[in-house]
Amino acid sequence: MTNIVIFGVGLIGGSLALCFKDKPGLRVVGHSNNPKSVEKYLQRGVVDHATTSMEEAVKDADFIFLGVPVGNLEDYICRLNELPLKPGCIITDVGSTKASITACAEKLRLQEGVHFIGGHPMAGKEKSGVEAATSLLFENAYYVLTPTENTPQEAYDRLFKLLQYTRAHIVKVDANMHDTIVGAISHLPHIIAVALVNQISKYNETNSLYKDLAAGGFRDITRIASSDPVIWRDILSNNRDVLLELLKDWNREIDTFIQLLSDDDGAGIEDQFRQANRFRNELPERRKGMITSLHEIYVDIPDQPGIVGQIATLLGDCRINLSNLQIIESREDIPGVLRLSFREEDHMEKAFELLKKQYPVHI
Ligand SMILES: NC(=O)C1=CN([C@@H]2O[C@H](COP(=O)(O)OP(=O)(O)OC[C@H]3O[C@@H](n4cnc5c(N)ncnc54)[C@H](O)[C@@H]3O)[C@@H](O)[C@H]2O)C=CC1
Ligand SMILES: O=C(O)C(=O)Cc1ccc(O)cc1
């Protein structure tokens, strides 16, 4: 039996638990300091066993996942290192930053035969808590691991193998490089979304039409401003140096627009949009990105007349609301791929369950 222990069974910890739960030979144990949370994990069937005792949780652990906020990770590793751990145990985390935790684990002398490998499943959402957890969260997303030169290959391979249950694409990245890149593509956009919402909310105090008229585009690019304040306080503080540099660059981009507008430089504005269009259109089509605004699934469909209508009717009959439907590849020699978008996550999940009985479906 392989024992997997999860500290912090929230959105990410809970989603991992659901990926491993009921898989042959795996037993999932959840830990919380709060007895009510322990009850909740069991009631929701997210784990096989749950406890408030750290010592009991880790007694036979083969893998320990830390799903707590970034600001608590170092404390957890230090406390775990004081407990009797099983030789061969692998400790890993899911924190959105990787440099400081990887350096901390390197510096700390972990018990003989115990290894830490940093991890970051690069998928999530603006909701938090075990209530928002789903086994589909990581499917087709990247999952970064940050082993160091001291990480035994055997330990990396074991974690890599276990993580196949997430159906994510596991990639090895240097921890510092991770923080630089993820700072740019995830942390900076979260700051921008929050700043934009706060700017508009101040205008709204004088005229509530701002809120009433805020539609499509505004909602799309500000969805992530609804993310958990404590989780994001910790991420931004932890990646502070990288973000301060990125924000200086951001100011330069904004200054460019100030200049273009002051000069009434229409061609320059067009050029900014052209450049952005080019890069954005090159982003991977079918990979679940960091900042997905819609819930989408992809269905491989046979190239036969009426098939699109049949799928739409099937969903409609089950009261599943589609927000968009698009054929993204259709040639005679390959099946078409249908992209179905949903505004509601649970509608996407229902559609996934329904359609997978008849067609290959990907997330
Ligand atoms: N939210 C997202 O989309 C993503 C978050 N992450 C990372 O995953 C980790 C967890 O984030 P979420 O699952 O979103 O948060 P969450 O709030 O859903 O879950 C956090 C869990 O940690 C527990 N917790 C909170 N404060 C604690 C403390 N002081 N001591 C012990 N336990 C505590 C909570 O009870 C909860 O079970 C964070 O490190 C975050 O950076 C990684 C990928 C995506
Ligand atoms: O909601 C989104 O689209 C996100 O960007 C989620 C997210 C948040 C934090 C991460 O470390 C990784 C992914």
Mean pLDDT, rounded, for 259-279:
98
Q: What percent of the chain stands above pLDDT 90?
A: 77
Is the pLDDT confidence value at 346 over 90?
no
Same structural domain for residues 226 and 134?
no
Asked whether residue 249 is assigned to any structural domain, the reply reads yes
Same structural domain for residues 188 and 100?
no
Residue closest to 186 by CA, chosen among 253, 96, 248, 247: 96
Question: What digits encode the pLDDT tens for the residues 47-100?
Answer: 999 999 999 999 999 999 999 999 999 999 999 999 999 999 999 999 999 999
Is the pLDDT confidence value at 293 over 70?
no
Among candidate residues 136, 154, 173, the one where a domain is terminated: 173
Test site for ligand 2: of 11, 73, 101, 125, most ligand atoms within 8 A of the Cβ: 125
- Strands 334-342 and 324-331 come out as antiparallel
Distance from CA of residue 44 to its chain's centroid?
A: 21
ipTM of predicted assembly, 2 dp? 0.98
How many alpha carbons fall within 13 Å on the CB side of residue 94?
29
CB 140 within 8 A of CB 287: yes
- 174 CA distance to ligand 1 middle (Å): 23
Is the pLDDT confidence value at 138 over 70?
yes
Give the model's pLDDT for residue 338. Answer: 87
Question: How far is 78 from 342, CA to CA, in rounded Å?
Answer: 43
Q: Which domain holds residue 249?
A: 177-281
Same structural domain for residues 193 and 165?
no
Same structural domain for residues 334 and 350?
yes
Question: What digits encode the pLDDT tens for the residues 140-158?
Answer: 899 999 999 999 999 999 9
Pocket of ligand 2 (CB under 6 A): 96, 122-126, 186, 224, 290-292
Total domains present in the chain: 3
Among candidate residues 134, 149, 173, the one where a domain is terminated: 173
352: domain CATH number is 3.30.2130.10
Asked whether residue 255 is assigned to any structural domain, the reply reads yes
Same structural domain for residues 338 and 252?
no
Angle CA 107–111–116, to nearest 5: 60
Same structural domain for residues 66 and 120?
yes
72: domain CATH number is 3.40.50.720
